Amino acid sequence: MNYTKLIFSFKKRRHNLLIFRNFTILLTGMILLSTTGALAQKGNVSVNINNGTVKTFIKEIEKQTRYTFVYRNNVLNDQAKVTVNCKNKPLDQVLSQVFTPLNVSYSLNNNTIVLVKQEVQQQKKNEKKTIKGTVTDGKGEPIIGANVIQEGGIGTITDVEGNFTVTADLSKPLEISYIGYKKKSIRIGASPTINIALEEDAHVMDEVIVIGYGSKTKRDVTSSIGTYKPGEVNVRQVLGVDELLQGRVSGVNITSASGVPGSKNRVSIRGIGSITAGNEPLYVIDGVPINNTSGDTGAWGAQSMNGLNDFNPSDVESIQILKDAASAAIYGSRATNGVILITTKKGSKGQAKVNIDTNVSFSNLTRTDKLDMTDTDLFLEVLNEAIDNYNLQTNSTQARIDNPAPGKAQTNWLDLVLRTAVTYTTTASVSGGTDKTNYYLSANYKHNEGVIINNQLKRYNLKVNLDTEIKKWLKVGTALNLSYSRNNRVPTGYNIGTSVITRAIEQRPWDSPYRPDGEYAVGGQELANHNPIQALNEEDVYIDNYRALGSLYMLFNITKDLNFKTTLGEDFNYTEEHIYYTADHPYGNKVGKLIDGRKSYASTLWENVLTYKHSFEEDFSLDVMLGHSIQKDVTSSAAQTGIGFPSPSFDVNSVAAEYSDISTGLSSFLLQSFFGRLSLNYKNRYLLTGTMRADGSSKFISSNRYGYFPSVSAGWNLGEESWWKYPQTDVKFRASWGCTGNQGGIGSYAYQALAGGGYNYNGENGLGLTTAGNRDLKWEKAQQADIGVDLSFFRGAITFTADAFIKDTKDLLYQKPTPATSGYTSQVCNIGSMRNKGLEFTLGANLSKGSFSWHSDFNISFIRNKLTALLDNNEILTTSSMHALKVGEPIGSFYMIKWKGIYQSDDEIPAKIYDQGVRAGDCIYEDVDGNDVIDENDKQFVGSANPKFTGGFNNTFKYKGVDLSLFFTFSSGNKLYELWTGGLRMGNGTWPILKSAAESRWTGPGSTNENPRAIYGYTWNSTKFVNTRMLHDASYIRCRTASIGYTLPKSWINRIHIDNLRIYFQADNLFILTKWPYLDPEVNVSLSATNMGYDYLYPSQPRTFTIGVNLKF
C-alpha cells in the first residue's frame, strides 16, 4: 500500500476508517485466536522467493500475517530483486534480512509495517564499530568461510555457524562474498547486528554451455565439452581467435606454424582425425559454420595464412569445444575433428556501457644465438681442415682458401633483416539494451609488424549484434562481422628460394649486401646465396582480404513450450594477392614480374529449427529439437603472371610485355542436412540425450550421397539424489557414443572424372582428362565412445574433470598414388582405418581469503594414434622424404635412416662403406638389412611428430586492485626434423658453418661422438641421407603469458564518471625450456597430418611485451 495515498484517504473518511480499523483488529484477533494462533503468537513466516521482487515479498508477508505495509514511493524500489528461502522463521529476522541491505528500516505498529528510509548519519572519518552477523544461503543454511571485507583491507571470514564479528569503518559498506554466490554489498546502519543471505551465482553453479543448435546448463550436459571464456586478466593479445585456445582446454592442441603475422596454425582436437580428408575442426561463429581455408590464394610459395584472422578476438564472449562424438554428431559430416563454437558478445538491459582497450606491443625474435655462425678465422680453419682431409684421403691437390678480404668487418646479416616490431591495437565497443532490445557494437584497428623488415599486417573490424522483440511471439536479430586487412608479406616459406632467415645466415663471414659502388651484391657472384636485403627491398608482396560474415534470424514463440527459428547466414570472402618483383629482384628476370591472383568464396546457409521444451510437474522434463539446413559453397579463382614492365611504378599486368600461367577456376558444392535431438531429464538426477543427423553432399555419387550420424549420451548427477549428504559437493558421471563424418580435403567433384582445357592439338582447342574420379567414393566415418566424470567441491571452489575415449575411423580418404601408365598420378580412395585413444584431465581451483583470491587451471591430455588398416596391411606408403604410413604406426611417423654416432677409428668401418670414402670421424648409420650398404632399404620408423602429452597451467592472483597472471603451455614426446642443413656441411662446399657445430667437430679419436669431422667434397655427413642426426626432441615448457595489472580504486575514478580503469603489462613467450637446438620447437613447414614435424628455420614466435589500458564507463 502506498503511504501517500493512505494519508489522502484518511482526510476523506477518517471517522469511517477508525471504526473499520477497530473492527478489523477485533476480527483479526478472533481469527488468529481460533485458526492461526500459533503463527500470531510466534510471529513466524515461511517464504520461498528466488530472485523475485520486493513487491512479491511484501505480498507474501501480507498474505501470511495480519500486517499491511505502508511506505512512500521514494523510500523503496519495490522492483528490486531479493532472494529469501526460510521455513518457520521469526518475522523480524526475515524483514531484517530483506530490508537492511536496501538501507530501509521498518517498524511494526499494530497491524501495519511502516517502511522508512534509514537515516545514515554522517560518520566521522575512520570511526569504527563492532558489527556482528550471520551469512546464510538461500535455504537459511550457514555459509562457512564467507569473506566479509571492507575497502582498505578490514575483513574476516565466517565461522562454522556462519557467524562473523568485524570492527568496521562506518563510512564504508561491507562486501560479503563466497565462491558460487553473488557478491553482496551492505551499508552499515545503526544496528550492531546484520544478517545476510547470499544468492547462488548461476554462472558458477549452473553455467550455461552453448551446444549445437541450443544451450544447456553445465549440470545437464552429458557429453564432453570444453569451455574457455576470455577475461580482461587471462586473455592473450593475439591476432587470431584460435590462438586464444592454446593450452586452455584438455584434448585441444594448437601449434603455431611460425611467428609471421597472420600465419596459419595447426589445430587438432583429440589427435589426428584423418590422413588427407582434413584435420581442421569445424568452426561455428554465432551459429554460422564458416570456412577456415587459407587466407591467401596460394599464388606464392610462402606460408599459408589463417582465415580466422578476419575476426577480432576482443569480440569473443565464450568458446565451447565439442570434443566427443555425442556433442559433435549434431554437425554430422563436418564434425569428425571436433567442433569449435564461438559466441560473440551481446548487449544486456541497462544503460549503454562503453569499453575501450588500447595497447602497444614490442616484439623481437628470440634464441638467435642458436644461429651464430663462424667468424672468418674459424670458418677458414674448418674449411681448410676439410680440404686437407680430402687431399690426404684422395691424394688430391685441392687448393686451400685464403681470406679474400683481410681486415674487413664481418656483417651481421640477421641484424640487417630483423627488427624490434611494434604493434598497435585499439578496440572500442558500446553495448546496452531495454526490455525488448539489446545491442553490441564494436570497432577494432590493429597494426601488427613482423620481426622481419617490411612485414606487417593491418586489420580493420566492425562488429554488430542486435536482438529485438517485435511482438511477444516474435523476436528478430542479426549478427554481422565486417573486416578488411592488408598483409605485407616477406618470403619465409620452404618453397621460396629467398627465405629470409636461411639466406641471411648462409653468407660467408666476409660477404656484405652491397658492392663498393652501392649496387646490390648478387648471389652466385659476390655472395654464396641470394641477397636477402635485395629480395626484401625489390619486391612488393601483399594480400588484400575482404570478409563479411552475417546472419539474420526470426524466432517465433508459438506457445510457452514451442518455438520456431529460421536463420539465413552468409560467409563471403574476397582475396587479392599481389606479388611483384622489380627488375633488380633475384626472380625479376631483369625485366620485372607480377603474379596477380584473385579468389572469392561465398557460403550461403538457410537453417530452420523447431524446439519444444516442457516440464511435467517438477520431476520430468523433455527437450526436443528438429531441424533442416541447406548450405551452398561457391569458390572462384583467377591468376595470371605478367613479365616485362617499363618501370617499377607500373605494377599492373595491363602494361606487361607478355603473359604466362593464366588460369581460372570455378567450383561449388551443396550440403543438405536433417537433424534432431531428444533430451530427457528426471529430477535433475538422470539425464539422457540422443541426436541424429543425415547429411547429403554433392561431392559423392547419388548412391553414396547421404551419410547418417547418430549419437547417444547419458549422465547421472549424484548430488541430486535424496541420499546424498554432501551439499557442497557435486558428482556427475557421463557416458556417450556417437558417429561423425568427414568430407574435407577432397574436391567438389571428387567422384567424377574431370576434363581440363589447354590440351590443344594442331592449332585447335582440345580437352584432356585430368582426374579419373572414383564412383565408389564414400563418407569417411568415425565412431567414438567416451566416459567421464565431473567433480565439484566446496560449491565450485575446486573442480575436476576426467575423460577417457576411443575413436575408430574407417574408410579413410587418401590420394593414393597410381602408376603413371594410367595417365594419372593419384586417385582419391577409401583405403584404411585408424584408432585414436586418450585420457584427459582438468583441475581447477577458485580460492579466496579477504582481499586475496587465487584462480588456477591445469589440464593435461594423453592421446595415442595408430593406423589399423591400410591397403594390404603390409605396405609402407611414403608421404615425404622423411615420413611414411604403415599399419601399427601413428600417422605423422618419421621414416628415415637412423644415425648412431661417429666412427672413432677406421677399424670400425665395414669394408663396403670404407670403399665409399667413409673414414674415422664420419657418421655411423644403422645397417638394418646387414649388407654393409646404407641405402633406402635401411630406413626405419624412428618416432613421431605427435606429442605423448600436452597441456597448460594457468594461475591468476588478485589482491585488492592488483592482478598477476602466469600461463604455461607444455608438450612432450614429439620430434621435429630440421630440414635446413646449410650450417652442418662442415666443408662440403663453401657453405657457412654454425659456430656450435664447428667448435664441437670431431678432430681425433675420442674427441666427440656428436658432430663429424670436416671433409671437403663428401655428402655422407650432411645431405646424402635423411637421418636422425637432424631429428630432435621438440618437447618444451613455454611461459606463454605473464601479465600484471592494476585496477584503480572506484573512489578515485567515479568522480570523473569512469566505472573501471585498468592498466596492464603483459609478456608473451617470455621464455621456453627445450632441447630443440634451433629457434622454436613449435614451428612447422607442413600442417598436413602425414607430413608434419619439420622446420626450415621459420621465424619463431616472437617475445612480445605489451602495455595497455582498459577503460569502462
CATH of residue 7: 3.55.50.30
d(CA 979, CA 1084): 11
| The three grid cell numbers given for residue 886, joined into one nine-digit string | 604403415
Identify whether residues 730 and 832 lie together within a single domain. Answer: yes
Residues 26 and 152 in one domain: no
What's the number of domains the chain is made of?
3
**Secondary structure of 845-862 as H, E, C letters:** EEEEECCEEEEEEEEEEE
Quick one: cell of 915? 670403399
Q: Is 1068 among the domain residues?
A: yes
Query: Is 60 inside any structural domain?
Result: yes
| Rounded distance between C-alpha atoms, residue 322 and residue 232, angstroms | 25
Assess if residue 632 is contained within a domain: yes
Q: What is the pLDDT of residue 56?
A: 87
DSSP one-letter string for 652-664: SGGG-SEEEEEEE
Q: Give yes or no: residues 844 and 948 share one domain.
A: yes
Q: Can you tell me the distance from the alpha carbon of 488 to that of 449, in angstroms, rounded to the nearest whole number? A: 9
**Does residue 400 sit within a domain?**
no
Are 142 and 110 members of one domain? no
Query: Does residue 840 fall inside a structural domain?
Result: yes
CA dist 781 and 151 (Å) reads 59
H helix intervals, 507-622: 532-537
pLDDT at 206: 63
Domain final residue pick, 200, 219, 250: 200
Residues 762, 766, 772: CA angle, nearest 5 degrees: 135
* Pair (104, 186) in one structural domain: no
Decide which of 64, 82, 117 is a domain's last residue: 117
74: buried, middle or exposed (CB in 10 Å: 19+, 13-18, 0-12)?
Answer: exposed
What average pLDDT is seen over the chain? Answer: 87
Task: Output the pLDDT for position 22.
Answer: 42
Instruction: Give the predicted TM-score (pTM) of the model.
Output: 0.83
| Residue 720 placed within a domain | yes
Same structural domain, 975 and 1072: yes
Is residue 122 a part of any domain in this protein?
A: no
Query: Strands 1036-1047 and 1060-1068: what pairing?
Result: antiparallel
Is 294 found in the same domain as 193? no
**In this structure, are 977 and 1065 located in the same domain?**
yes
Distance (Å, whole) CA 970 – CA 483: 33
> Across-strand partners of 884?
878
- 333 and 192, same structural domain? no
Cβ-Cβ contacts under 8 Å for 556 (sequence gap 6 or more): 473, 474, 563, 564, 565
- Tell me if residue 1056 falls in helix, strand or coil: helix
Q: DSSP string covering 211-249, please?
A: ETTEEEEGGG--S-EEEE---TTT----SSGGGGGTTTS
Of 150, 183, 200, at which residue does a domain stop?
Answer: 200
Low-confidence ranges of the chain (pLDDT < 50): 1-42, 120-125, 203-205
pLDDT, position 815: 79
Cell of 234: 587471462
Assess whether 637 and 742 both reside in one domain: yes
Cell of 131: 558489527
Hey, what amino acid is at 30?
Answer: M
* CATH number of the CATH domain containing 331: 2.40.170.20
- Collect contacts of 911-915 with beta carbons under 8 A, ≥24 apart: none
Residues 434 and 575 reside in one and the same domain: yes
Q: Residue 25: which domain range?
A: 3-117
Query: Is residue 75 included in any domain, yes or no?
Result: yes
The CATH number covering residue 178 comes to: 2.60.40.1120
User: Are the CB atoms for 651 and 621 separated by under 8 Å?
Assistant: no
What pLDDT does residue 891 have? 94
| Same domain? 677 vs 540 | yes
